[in-house]
């Protein structure tokens, strides 16, 4: 059954769509999420008639000049066809109807709803209704028995039920499906289909197979399957003769079986791999119309027609040769049907007693579809399932060609212009970007192009007569670029309206060589580029001089320009299993021309295609795929692509869609995105552009603020390793604040690691470190002040039970020459810092004082003078004499160290007895921090090692 797959046409907005033929086969009728019913006079109809039936249209059925639709207003409406005049409401539900269908005579309509009910309504008298109750979830589909006795329905409750309509009772119920709570969550629409005419079988899609149930006995008599069919079957449709059964799948595969032989006679892959959600067979049996979840309409043409008594028409010449090499077409014996059941009279055997090779019908060398897979001899095995007819073979069949069962090649996506709508529309956007909008009109009244600018100061709006038939456009601050395909008489042309020119000639045009058509174009700063069908890219100056011409590695998909940058996307190879194999080139035209990216693969979401390409307003390459994922070039990581947004996550419903026209690198909520979105400053600066230093400083400030907030959050979540990772992205000054916050939060191990990190930063960039330490920005101080401790304060001992004021570690006044090292010593007192202090710090008068002399008092106006003594300081004053008596040779530093060791060994009860209590404060400062602060003061003054 070789057939031709016609190119798909855009019909409705994204979402569920359905399709059917009228009784004569003249019209194709579709409905979709936009609430319209479109009436097509064939697939080539560029202006189909439409009827608006509501906000959304979920299902439709057509019979005897009556059109029935299920809309979002919870009603089932009826219209005349093809006039489209409203003819009343058949029935109502409490929620939306999900599926409608006619019986074979067109006198009844059945409808299923999300309120779990099925209704059967008389078309001539809508008051005559029967309600079938029994499902426990929304109804997926309904179908009439051709003899008008039974009705079958499927539901999200996992069941397929056969009803006796007169008695309104369930005849049989099969638990075949996965249970869900709503149709939107169901794996499959599970569109049931009853065999026409003979009414012998009820076909039920179950996962990736078709179950056939016999009418009357309701037994499972056969299963239709295919090795390449791996995803759930969504919809079914019987051929008018009742011999063939077509199925559309979630993965976009269209399959046709011969029910009698149970062989797959046709496979076709959706050109973009989208889910097939609507399927209808032409009354003649020669075509199958189908729709997908993107709102597009497709057609399979050239299918085998209904069997007739002229049996020679069913077989081609190749089959005759395979049948008998000694018999020619002129002397071959008369072929007679097998005697037996009339229902199976289309299974034919020649008079010689040898079975005709049905594989020859599939293996037509003249098939127009190269993507259709054909089955070989191994598919003709014995099948013991009931309901099949097998005729003994008395002679060996002829050899068949080998069968390919590998991955299917993906049709390459066509070249397109980012920011444009489909070319077949009569009114369309040829370009919509951050500069302006180019609209194209091609109807009976006018064939013109309108150009509008968002900023009217750039240029006034323009109205152009489109006498050349331009189909693609781009607009910039300097010009409008247009191109048209070639015709039999005229070459493909490139036209530029250079309105920013200072002379009087503001337009130029170029004819491309014969056989070379423009496929994609773009404008940059002072240049224009066009990619052609000859795998060429031609670069023109904005005044019309051809500056460069070079070959492309593959067919172009789209191009984009910004400033001196040109981004090219092309097909680098053939993709498989729904994947597009795209490559990317990034060129820069400046004083020194260079290629930044050369032929690297362009990453896309699984099974998606490229839907938009361009640059951010700041000049960073960016693109969007059909899954709504926005990716941006990360120049800091070897020109990799980083996903920065998923537009599908912000859609309220499946029908919502973001049509991208531009991207701005605005401040984001995540620090990594903040850093990524400001890489353009360094790139532009390296290219010689003047950058906004205030904007760059503001960006750095926002980055550091967000890093500090994430650091505080990680501290509260006890993610200390993550805290260090965040600190690695901070500046040295902010790391100092992180150390202070870690000390407040009683995380001394983290503070120690951060101090080591700060020292590394200071050693790597000593000049920057000195500059940062000279003045602490006010906004960083505010960040720290707004941070709250991760632990609550603990009341100190004492009869009054009052709390002491909080203890805050603050860096001491910078005495050493190296301000960076001084601050680190004040904060932590690490060994490394002490060592640095010994090397770089001058001895102070404090070194000449005896060990028992306390440190000099702070100035009277100092905040340290107003703070009460800590518990450790009180205990040290009491214990100093005993420690000096036990160890008379100890220096002051060693005395403090010994005191710290003894203080740690004291239990809480001993501290209460001595009246020193704890050293916790309101802000979470602990006695270790107090001791550390005291020790660091001595280390700075003494210059000893810790």
The helix or strand, by DSSP H or E, that contains position 881, with its residue range, turns out to be helix 871-886
Query: Which segments of 640-707 are extended strands (E)?
Result: 640-646
pLDDT tens digits for range 550-563: 999 999 999 999 99
Tell me, rounded to whole angstroms, the distance of Cα 880 from its chain centroid.
69
Phi-psi region of 655 (alpha: psi -120 to 50; beta: other; left: phi over 0): alpha
Please give the C-alpha separations between residue 32 and each of 35, 60, 576, in angstroms, as whole numbers: 6, 10, 30
Q: What is the pLDDT of residue 309?
A: 41
Q: Are strands 97-102 and 28-31 parallel, antiparallel or unpaired?
A: unpaired
Mean residue pLDDT of the chain comes to 77
Token pair of 893 as six digits: 């530093």
Asked whether 492 and 531 are in contact (CB, 8 A), the reply is no
Give the C-alpha separation, 588 to 595, whole Å.
6
Q: Are strands 86-92 and 108-113 parallel, antiparallel or unpaired?
A: unpaired
- Rounded Cα–Cα distance for residues 111 and 204 (Å): 18
Are the C-beta atoms of 613 and 594 separated by less than 8 Å? no
Farthest-apart Cα atoms in the chain, separation = 130
Which residue in 19, 7, 1 sits closest to 298, CA to CA?
A: 7
pLDDT tens string 153-183: 999 999 999 999 999 999 999 999 989 888 8
Q: Which residues pair with residue 943 across a beta bridge? A: none
Is 376:361 a contact under the CB 8 Å cutoff?
no
Residues paired with 582 in a beta bridge: 571
Pair 943, 825: CB distance under 8 Å: no
Strand, coil or helix: what is 487? coil
> Whole-angstrom Cα distance, residue 23 to residue 679?
62
For residues 146 and 104, the answer to whether their CB atoms sit within 8 Å is yes
Asked if residues 207 and 232 have their Cβ atoms less than 8 Å apart, the reply is yes
Q: Which of these, 30, 88, 35, 51, lies nearest to 292 by C-alpha position?
A: 30
Tell me which residue of 126, 93, 123, 129 sits closest to 106, measured CA to CA.
Answer: 123
Q: Crossing angle of helices 748-764/831-840, nearest 10°?
A: 40
SS3 assignment for 141-200: EEEECCCCCEEEEEECCCEEEEEECCCCEEEEEEECCCCCCCHHHCCCCCCCEECCCCCC
Tokens coding 693: 């230093």
Which pLDDT score, from 0 to 100, does residue 304 have?
A: 61
Are residues 195 and 343 in contact, defined by beta-carbon separation less than 8 angstroms? no
Sign of the alpha-carbon torsion through 625, 630, 633, 639 = negative
| Residue 751 CB partners (closer than 8 Å, separation 6+) | 739, 742, 743, 827, 828
The SS3 call for residue 686 is: helix
Rounded Cα distance between 787 and 763, Å, is 29
Question: Angle at CA 827, nearest 5°, toward 822 and 831?
Answer: 75
Given a cut of 50, the residues of the chain with pLDDT beneath it are 305-398, 669-670, 672, 765-776, 788-866, 918-946
CA pair distance 8, 27, nearest whole angstrom: 16
| Conformation bin of residue 798: beta by default, left when phi > 0, alpha when psi is -120 to 50 | left
> Can you tell me the distance from the alpha carbon of 67 to that of 39, in angstroms, rounded to the nearest whole number?
11
Single out the residue of 146, 346, 197 nearest to residue 258, CA to CA: 346
Distances (CA, A) of 217 to 147, 172, 212, 260: 15, 10, 12, 19
As a residue count, the chain comes to 946
Using alpha carbons, list the distances in angstroms from residue 96 to 116, 137, 138, 749: 11, 13, 10, 61
pLDDT value of residue 679: 60
Joined together, the tokens standing for residue 944 give: 């000893």
Structure tokens at 447: 């064939």
Q: Where are the alpha helices (DSSP H) in 435-577?
A: none
Question: Taking the mean position of all CA atoms in its chain, how far away is CA 583?
Answer: 19
pLDDT at 418: 94
* Cα 285 to Cα 26: distance, rounded to the nearest angstrom: 13
First-to-last alpha carbon distance for the chain, in angstroms, is 88
Torsion of CA 818, 820, 823, 827, to 10 degrees: -130
**Count of beta carbons in the 10 Å neighbourhood of residue 577:** 14
Please answer whether residues 403 and 375 qualify as being in contact, where contact means their C-beta atoms are separated by less than 8 angstroms.
Answer: yes
* Predicted TM-score (pTM) above 0.75: no
* DSSP symbols for 1-59: ---EEEEEEE-S-SS--EEEE-TTSS-EEEE-TTSEEEEESSTT-SS-EEEE-SS-EEE
Task: Please check whether residue 857 is in contact with residue 833, taking contact to mean a CB–CB distance below 8 angstroms.
Answer: no
């Amino acid at each position: 059954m070789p057939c031709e797959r016609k190119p798909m046409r855009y019909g409705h907005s994204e979402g569920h769509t359905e399709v059917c033929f009228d009784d004569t086969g003249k019209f194709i009728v579709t409905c979709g999420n936009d609430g319209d019913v479109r009436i097509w006079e064939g697939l080539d109809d560029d202006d189909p008639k439409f009827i608006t039936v509501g906000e959304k249209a979920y299902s439709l059925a057509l019979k005897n000049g009556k059109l029935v639709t299920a809309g979002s207003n919870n009603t089932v409406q009826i219209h005349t066809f093809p006039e489209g005049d409203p003819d009343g409401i058949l029935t109502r539900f409490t929620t939306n109807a999900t599926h409608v269908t006619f019986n074979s005579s067109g006198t009844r309509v059945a409808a299923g709803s999300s309120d779990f009910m099925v209704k059967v309504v008389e078309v001539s008298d809508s008051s005559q209704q029967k309600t079938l109750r029994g499902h426990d979830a929304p109804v997926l589909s309904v179908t009439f028995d051709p003899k008008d006795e039974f009705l079958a329905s499927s539901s999200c409750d996992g069941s397929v039920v056969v009803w006796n309509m007169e008695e309104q009772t369930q005849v049989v119920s099969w638990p075949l499906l996965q249970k869900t709570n709503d149709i939107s969550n169901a794996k499959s629409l599970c569109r049931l289909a009853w065999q026409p005419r003979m009414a012998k079988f009820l076909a039920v899609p179950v996962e990736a197979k078709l179950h056939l149930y016999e009418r009357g006995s309701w037994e499972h008599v056969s299963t239709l399957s295919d090795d390449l069919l791996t995803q759930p079957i969504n919809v079914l449709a019987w051929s008018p003769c009742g011999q063939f059964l077509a199925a559309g799948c979630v993965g976009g595969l269209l399959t046709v079986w011969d029910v009698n032989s149970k062989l797959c006679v046709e496979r076709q892959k959706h050109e973009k791999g989208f889910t097939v959600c609507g399927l209808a067979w032409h009354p003649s049996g020669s075509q199958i119309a189908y729709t997908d979840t993107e709102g597009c309409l497709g057609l399979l043409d050239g299918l085998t027609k209904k069997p007739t008594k002229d049996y020679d028409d069913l077989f081609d010449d190749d089959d005759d040769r395979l049948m008998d090499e000694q018999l020619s077409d002129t002397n071959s014996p008369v072929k007679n049907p097998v005697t037996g059941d009339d229902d199976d009279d289309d299974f034919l055997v020649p008079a010689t007693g040898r079975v005709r090779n049905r594989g020859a019908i599939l293996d037509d060398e003249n098939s127009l579809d190269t993507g259709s897979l054909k089955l070989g001899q191994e598919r003709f095995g014995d099948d013991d399932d009931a309901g099949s007819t097998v005729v003994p073979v008395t002679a060996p069949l002829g050899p068949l060609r080998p069968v390919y069962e590998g991955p299917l090649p993906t049709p390459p996506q066509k070249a397109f212009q980012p920011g444009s709508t489909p070319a077949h529309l009569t009114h369309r956007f040829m370009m919509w970007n951050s500069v302006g909008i180019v609209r194209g009109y091609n109807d009976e009244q006018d064939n013109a192009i309108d150009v509008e600018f968002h900023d009217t100061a750039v240029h006034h709006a323009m109205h152009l007569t489109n006498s050349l038939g331009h189909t693609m456009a781009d607009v910039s601050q300097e010009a409008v670029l247009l191109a048209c395909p070639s015709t039999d008489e005229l070459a493909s042309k490139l036209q530029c309206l250079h309105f920013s020119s200072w002379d009087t000639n503001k337009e130029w045009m170029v004819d491309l060589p014969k056989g070379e058509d423009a496929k994609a174009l773009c404008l940059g700063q002072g240049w224009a580029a066009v990619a052609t069908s000859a795998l060429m890219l031609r670069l023109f100056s904005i005044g019309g001089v051809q500056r460069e011409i070079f070959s492309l590695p593959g067919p172009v998909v789209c191009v984009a320009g910004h400033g001196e940058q040109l981004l090219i996307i092309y097909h680098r190879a053939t993709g498989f299993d729904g994947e597009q194999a795209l490559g990317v080139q990034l060129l820069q035209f400046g004083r020194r021309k260079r290629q930044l990216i050369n032929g690297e693969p362009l990453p896309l979401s699984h099974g998606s295609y490229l839907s938009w390409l361009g640059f951010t307003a700041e000049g960073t390459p960016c693109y969007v795929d059909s899954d709504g994922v926005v990716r941006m070039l990360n120049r800091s990581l070897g020109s990799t692509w980083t996903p920065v947004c998923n537009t599908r996550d912000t859609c309220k419903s499946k029908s919502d869609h973001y049509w991208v026209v531009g991207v701005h690198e605005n401040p984001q909520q995540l620090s990594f995105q903040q850093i990524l979105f400001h890489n353009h400053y360094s790139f532009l600066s390296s290219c010689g552009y003047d950058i906004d230093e205030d904007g760059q400083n503001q960006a750095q400030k926002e980055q550091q603020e967000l890093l500090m907030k994430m650091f505080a959050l990680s501290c509260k979540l006890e993610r200390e390793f993550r805290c260090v990772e965040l600190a690695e992205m901070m500046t040295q000054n902010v790391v100092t604040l992180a150390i202070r916050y870690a000390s407040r939060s009683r995380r001394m191990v983290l503070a120690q690691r951060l101090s080591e990190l700060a020292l590394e930063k200071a050693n790597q960039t000593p000049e920057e470190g000195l500059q940062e330490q000279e003045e602490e920005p006010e906004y960083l101080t505010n960040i720290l002040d707004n941070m709250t401790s991760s632990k609550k304060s603990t009341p100190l001992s004492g009869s009054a039970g009052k709390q002491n004021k909080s203890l805050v570690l603050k860096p001491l006044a910078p005495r050493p020459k190296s301000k960076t090292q001084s601050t680190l010593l004040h904060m932590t007192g690490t060994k490394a810092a002490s060592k640095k202090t010994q090397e770089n710090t001058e001895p102070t008068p404090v070194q000449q004082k005896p060990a028992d002399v306390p440190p000099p008092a702070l100035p009277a106006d100092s905040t340290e003078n107003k703070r009460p003594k800590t518990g450790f300081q009180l205990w040290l004053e009491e214990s100093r004499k005993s420690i000096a008596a036990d160890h008379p040779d100890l220096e002051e530093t060693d005395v403090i160290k010994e005191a710290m060791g003894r203080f740690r060994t004291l239990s809480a009860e001993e501290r209460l007895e001595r009246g020193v209590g704890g050293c916790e404060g309101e802000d979470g400062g602990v006695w270790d921090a107090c001791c550390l602060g005291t020790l660091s003061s001595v280390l700075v003054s003494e210059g000893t090692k810790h």
